Amino acid sequence: MKENNIPKATAKRLPLYYRYLRILNDAGKAKVSSTELSEAVQVDSATIRRDFSYFGELGKRGYGYDVESLMQFFSKTLSDDEMTNVALVGVGNLGSALLKYKFHQSNSIRVSAAFDVNSDIVGRIVDGIPVYPMSDMEEQIEIQRIEIAILTVPASTAQDVVNNLVESGIKGILNFTPVRISAPSDVLIQNVDLTNELQTLIYFLHSDDRLNVSTEEKE
């Protein structure tokens, strides 16, 4: 992401817009309206227009958006026109699953190296990706010009690993551990807590159930 003066919520929606624009472009569609986008990505059209407004004049009211030019614009905005090498640290159950994922929605993101302490895994090629010992992390990050790391290590070692990643030159970390890690202000951290997301979903599900019960009781 090259623009850093837009709201975080807007930034999180940009890949969603870009992905659908690629689908439209592949289907040969030339124009798309904010209403059509809204129905496809399940984001209201007013929000879409506001998101787009942060980048200047991307379309004309009543005319819609040019699919190809808008797709190319977001490709550059999201750096999808450049190959980004990513490191994965921790090849356990979750790490192995992420290696299999291969980031199909983007042709520009590639996990090029994985790191682990397990001697049974180190030195092997897992789903096409070499697994290096932790002692090789700094060297490989420099050689492969890696700036982003995915963290799937045990919580007890997370902060130590982050410290080593920062020292190795990593500038962005996608943190799948339950620990809220700390890093210098110039290192971006995005936390993905699967347990928290599931508990939030359960809360809202049960809240809806309680709301329905309360409504029925009042009737």
Q: What angle do CA 131, 194, 196 make, to 5 degrees?
A: 145
Q: Positive or negative, the Cα torsion across 85, 87, 92, 95?
A: negative
- Is 170 within 8 Å of 146 (Cβ atoms)? yes
Span 171-183, pLDDT tens digits:
999 999 989 999 9
Q: How far apart are CA 139 and CA 49, in angstroms?
A: 45
The C-alpha atoms of residue 47 and residue 110 are separated, in whole angstroms, by 31
Cα distances (angstroms) measured from residue 21 to each of 11, 17, 67, 206: 16, 6, 6, 36
Q: What is the pLDDT of residue 83?
A: 79
Residue 167 main-chain phi, psi, to 5 deg: -65, -25
d(CA 89, CA 117): 10
Mean pLDDT of 104-111: 68
pLDDT tens digits, one per residue of 39-74: 888 888 889 888 888 887 776 656 778 899 898 888
> In this structure, are strands 129-133 and 125-126 parallel, antiparallel, or unpaired?
antiparallel
Residue 4 has pLDDT above 90, yes or no: no
- What tokens appear for 135 in the block? 């002692």
